């Protein structure tokens, strides 16, 4: 998937086609994206029809801008992060909000575990983002990673790999596939970060029939304006807020604030409250921009074909 063209997988061969002008009349999220099912015209020279999606992962730049489609029809989002200075809880919370807004199951995948000091600490920090959140620590170079991720794979299932540049997404994809599908880069000695190697979003078929969507590293991740309320990844903050003395408590210095009480007693990380507020502000601003935007046509609808076997 590139800016003005796409590569289509068909039963016969892969086809490289440009996107026709009609796909640029509507919002960017209404254009075909990686993971979509489409129908070609009779001459097989252009995309004629976009089938209805089960879901759509999409992002917005933190400081505004149009929403951008990342991947469609995804069963599980594997949020890949490294056990080094790249690890960032606030960034992970954004990925979880993106997944849960789209109705996609999130899984946190910790990489570079062979180089990590204090791996149990990284696992505990990631697990703190949700009691029901799956957290898997893998060595992306080792074949054992295939078995560890098997619960989310299988014929006809689609998983997407997202994360910052250099965390090992392409290495993990190559290990899952059993061969080199994506070029990888060595880490820089100065900061242990990998070099950016994936230049566009792509879909690959694993030997067991799993579809894997790989994408370039994401530098910033803003919430969108639809149902992406920060509440979906901050249930601990909401549970405390429900017990505040005042229903309109702002969780600052009000008497009887259960949130501040939990922070003072070290039951709640103040970073969680700060992240919750920041995502709330971004979500409200995005929603306001959406309300002010003129409505465009809707995506072309149709019945989704069965997954390939």
pLDDT, tens only, 200-250:
788 999 999 999 999 876 655 555 444 445 666 788 888 999 999 999 999
Query: What parts of the chain have a pLDDT lower than 50?
Result: 184-199, 224-228, 297-300, 308-309
The reply to whether 108 and 158 lie within a common domain is yes
Nearest CA to 170 among 209, 201, 137?
201
Cβ-proximal residues to 143 (8 Å cutoff; 6+ apart), any chain: 175
The per-residue pLDDT for 229 is 54
The per-residue pLDDT for 13 is 84
The per-residue pLDDT for 145 is 94
The per-residue pLDDT for 190 is 43
The per-residue pLDDT for 260 is 94
Find the domain containing 253 and state its range.
Answer: 230-292
* Burial classification of residue 305, based on how many CB atoms lie within 10 Å of its CB (0-12 exposed, 13-18 middle, 19 or more buried): exposed
The per-residue pLDDT for 180 is 65
The reply to whether 152 and 243 lie within a common domain is no
CATH number, position 126: 3.40.50.300
Cα angle value 174/176/177 (rounded, 5°): 65
Is residue 196, in this structure, part of any structural domain at all? yes
The reply to whether 158 and 205 lie within a common domain is yes
Is residue 7, in this structure, part of any structural domain at all? no
The reply to whether 207 and 272 lie within a common domain is no
The per-residue pLDDT for 228 is 47
Rounded Cα distance between 251 and 82, Å, is 33
The per-residue pLDDT for 61 is 58
Q: Look up residue 194 and give its DSSP letter.
A: B
The reply to whether 129 and 255 lie within a common domain is no
The reply to whether 74 and 196 lie within a common domain is yes
Q: What percent of the chain has pLDDT over 90?
A: 42
Is residue 126, in this structure, part of any structural domain at all? yes
Rounded Cα distance between 83 and 116, Å, is 6
The reply to whether 261 and 190 lie within a common domain is no
The per-residue pLDDT for 297 is 46
The per-residue pLDDT for 68 is 82
Instruction: Report the domain count for the chain.
Output: 2
């Amino acid at each position: 998937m590139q800016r003005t063209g796409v590569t289509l997988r068909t039963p016969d061969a892969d086809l490289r086609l440009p996107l026709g002008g009609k796909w640029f009349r509507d919002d960017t999220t209404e254009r075909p994206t990686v993971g979509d099912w489409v129908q070609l015209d009779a001459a097989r020279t252009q995309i004629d029809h976009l089938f209805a999606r089960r879901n759509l992962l999409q992002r917005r730049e933190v400081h505004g801008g149009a929403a951008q489609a990342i991947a469609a029809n995804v069963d599980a989002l594997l949020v890949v992060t490294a056990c080094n200075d790249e690890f960032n809880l606030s960034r992970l919370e954004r990925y979880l909000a993106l997944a849960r807004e789209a109705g996609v199951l999130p899984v946190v995948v910790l990489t570079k575990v062979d180089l990590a000091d204090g791996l149990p600490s990284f696992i505990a920090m990631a697990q703190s983002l949700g009691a029901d959140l799956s957290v898997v620590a893998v060595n992306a170079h080792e074949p054992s990673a295939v078995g560890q991720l098997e619960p989310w794979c299988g014929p006809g299932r689609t998983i997407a790999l997202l994360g910052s540049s250099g965390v090992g997404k392409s290495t993990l994809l190559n290990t899952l596939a059993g061969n080199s599908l994506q070029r990888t880069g060595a880490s820089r000695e100065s900061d242990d970060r990998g070099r950016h190697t994936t230049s566009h979003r792509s879909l690959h078929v694993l030997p067991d029939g799993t579809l894997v969507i790989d994408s370039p590293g994401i530098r910033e991740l803003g919430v969108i304006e639809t149902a992406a309320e920060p509440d979906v990844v901050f249930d601990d903050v909401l549970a405390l807020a429900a017990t505040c003395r005042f229903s309109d408590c702002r969780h600052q210095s009000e008497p009887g604030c259960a949130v501040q009480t939990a922070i003072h007693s070290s039951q709640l990380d103040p970073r969680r409250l700060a992240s919750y507020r920041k995502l709330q502000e971004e979500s409200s601003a995005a929603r306001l921009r959406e309300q002010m935007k003129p409505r465009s046509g809707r995506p072309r609808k149709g019945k989704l074909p069965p997954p390939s076997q």
